[in-house]
Amino acid sequence: MTDLLFYLFAAIMLVSALFVVISPNVVTGAMCMIISFVATAALFVLLEAYFLAVLQILVYAGAVMVIFLFIIMLLDADKDSSQLLKDKMTLAGSIAGFALLVVLICAAFAGGEHLPEPPLLPVVENPSGEGPGIPYTTSAKSFGYSLFTKYMLPFQVAGFLLLAAMIGVIVVSKKQQEN
């Protein structure tokens, strides 16, 4: 049963990702991307990575796609694009995607050695030296602890970059009024 669900969700994800690329309407492409994100979350559930599945739904299918749709509708992307440039970009993207697919398939079925797996390291080392610190775990508590202690600066930088991008979109989309 798990194999059947895997193939079902993988097929849904691949078909919707294909429609993201070939869809002539950008809003339809964004909606297909949401379907692809939900199918990816379903694959995470099959892997028993429930926390990643919830994050996939909340962050990507929820927040990021709402921002994408807001930007698409705010900039009205379909009006200004020339057909010749769109055809050249579509052709270049298709060739690059196909080349990447060929390289990935050849690498997956090559008989050579694969990359070595990195060793497991503790999530957080105990700075006082007393006790073992936080053990290896997949719980949300250890993830949150490392995110808000060790990785606090990159987390804040990413937030400021998203804020700057949002302000940039508002400035670009603001219509000039003649006095």
Write the pLDDT tens digit of every residue in 43-88: 999 988 888 888 888 888 778 877 777 777 776 655 555 566 667 7
CA–CA separation, 39 vs 27, rounded Å?
19
CA–CA separation, 173 vs 102, rounded Å?
39
- What b/e string do you get for 70-86 counting C-beta neighbours within 10 Å, with b at 16 or more? ebbeeeeeeeeeeeeee
**Does the reported pTM lie above 0.75?**
no
Low-confidence residues in the chain, pLDDT < 70: 75-86, 111-140, 173, 175-179
CA–CA separation, 118 vs 70, rounded Å?
40
